[in-house]
Structure 1
């Protein structure tokens, strides 16, 4: 593993498999780690770079910067550190939000292709959204539910709440080894980092950004995820010329298709990244 330090003095840890071609930079979701991409770091025949975002994994966990805009700035500085003139960019869950924030603020001049994996356009069903808009977005919480979850995560039973929350992202019974791996990885983010970041993440609404994504894009959903596949269809419709792949339950039945079925995920991803158009 290697490290780099952000402009605000936070040391982040990353892995680079040293492969060839355009680097594929992969960003994990809330409370997760770059280790979630173990099947891609070793299984894709290309250069793959993964990053523990601030407050996650073995990266530093300061008491500041837990908002999507700051994580997008971290990504910008990380790409500078890599010296990459062009990258392929993949975000899973909250990682997709970080990518949308990056594209919103910095544009796509450095991005060759973009992959969004199982992230709603807006997570919170705020009162000024119509029912139709809430469904299109794939909103998971109402505002009261989000506040309640944050309070429980910050409380004495926060560890159990976090495990229950992540376990709900699997519709079936995960393999014992897989679930133990996930349980271990999600323990690395302290509540003082995770709770404000979750609140900021869920408060974002990316619908106005989607039509302005101007690079080839693949949207990935999963029939067995807690994120409604219809919300991924909506995102693919909003991003010009985006492609869509929804994993059927026979291939994966959770929010983590890249972990459950890395071979099939890598095949879908590789086909998109290698496409000529």
Structure 2
């Protein structure tokens, strides 16, 4: 959901060989270095300081060339960005985690550095793309983290393929159902985390720059983004804007499918691996995040405070805390 904000402001061994053969340093792929606006201790001052970062590609079964950002060695940890988002925004998160993990961030089709096409714009196809990335990398099992729409992609992945390839899973601030049905009680709406009762008008507001009223979309994500109240966030967003050029028409195609899916049955019945949920006091669907925690046995819920940048962009606004909390969860027995 970030393009509007920007407008306003044989087998496994062969697969691994193929992945290595196509590996390229990020600075080579992008063709230039990048100096971040804020110098922050413990994070790169320039893109070239992140020497381990690569941008690689693979081609899906339906012929789409997808990009993925990759760094580090160790246990595999795969990130799926939200709508309109991309690996460039994960640079700080990747830098911190790559010291202990093999970190991969997939640019979904029509996003980031991946190919733009006029087909496959469904959450189920995005889930298939994730499965094919796993196959390309030869990942039998990994930890996964989905932010915003990326969590929906993971729910679809679990619905279609189960959890046998998932070690642990993390969901960051995605409503179980964005769309509120007319016959729902207020409790059902809040538990689902729903923020709109008009999918078409919500999509129009998120893709045109028109500020909606709360009767159409009850969201403070726009305001939270435009605050740009974190030097970490300023760095990653400036970098993303410099290297990625989104096309709103391409991005728009997946939105209706995304908005109208209801994942409550998958969340409550199919998620059977260790789970962490991250959200914050400024979340549009805090009650929905608490509902997810209540229906997944032994799950963890992390609610970031105002001082901890507890909004939809918490992982990017507070990467040191987020990566520390994530690492602690992933390393629990």
TM-score normalised by structure 1 residue count: 0.89
Residue 184 to residue 267, structure 1, CA distance change in 2 (3 Å): closer
CA distance in 2, matches of 1:111, 1:232: 21
- After superposition, the C-alpha distances for 1:171-218 in whole angstroms (9 at most, x for unaligned) are 955247735853774773322222221111110101000122010000
How far off is 1:104 after superposition?
Answer: 0.5
How far off is 1:235 after superposition?
Answer: 0.5
How far off is 1:36 after superposition?
Answer: 1.9
CA distance in 1, matches of 2:64, 2:107: 12
CA distance in 2, matches of 1:177, 1:221: 18
How far off is 1:273 after superposition?
Answer: 0.3
Asked if 1:197 corresponds to 2:250, the answer is no
CA distance in 1, matches of 2:183, 2:226: 30
SS across alignment from 1:49:
strand
Q: Determine which structure has more spread, i.e. the larger CA radius of gyration.
A: 2
Tell me what 2:237 maps to: 182
Residue 58 to residue 178, structure 1, CA distance change in 2 (3 Å): same
Tell me what 1:62 maps to: 117
SS across alignment from 2:74:
coil
SS across alignment from 1:42:
helix
Tell me what 1:126 maps to: 181
Conserved? CA contact 2:71–2:104, under 8 Å: yes
Cα RMSD for the two superposed structures: 2.2
SS across alignment from 2:106:
strand
TM-score normalised by structure 2 residue count: 0.75
Q: How many residues align?
A: 267
Tell me what 2:80 maps to: 27
SS across alignment from 2:117:
coil
Which structure 2 segments of 5+ residues have no match? 1-54, 212-218
Tell me what 1:265 maps to: 322
- After superposition, the C-alpha distances for 1:6-44 in whole angstroms (9 at most, x for unaligned) are 0000000112213112x1000000111122211221101
Asked if 1:253 corresponds to 2:310, the answer is yes
SS across alignment from 2:233:
helix
CA distance in 2, matches of 1:258, 1:213: 22
- After superposition, the C-alpha distances for 1:58-103 in whole angstroms (9 at most, x for unaligned) are 1101011111001000001110001011110100000000000000
CA distance in 1, matches of 2:275, 2:150: 15
Which structure 1 segments of 5+ residues have no match? none
Higher deviation after alignment, 237-246 or 93-102:
237-246
How far off is 1:161 after superposition?
Answer: 4.5
Tell me what 1:149 maps to: 202
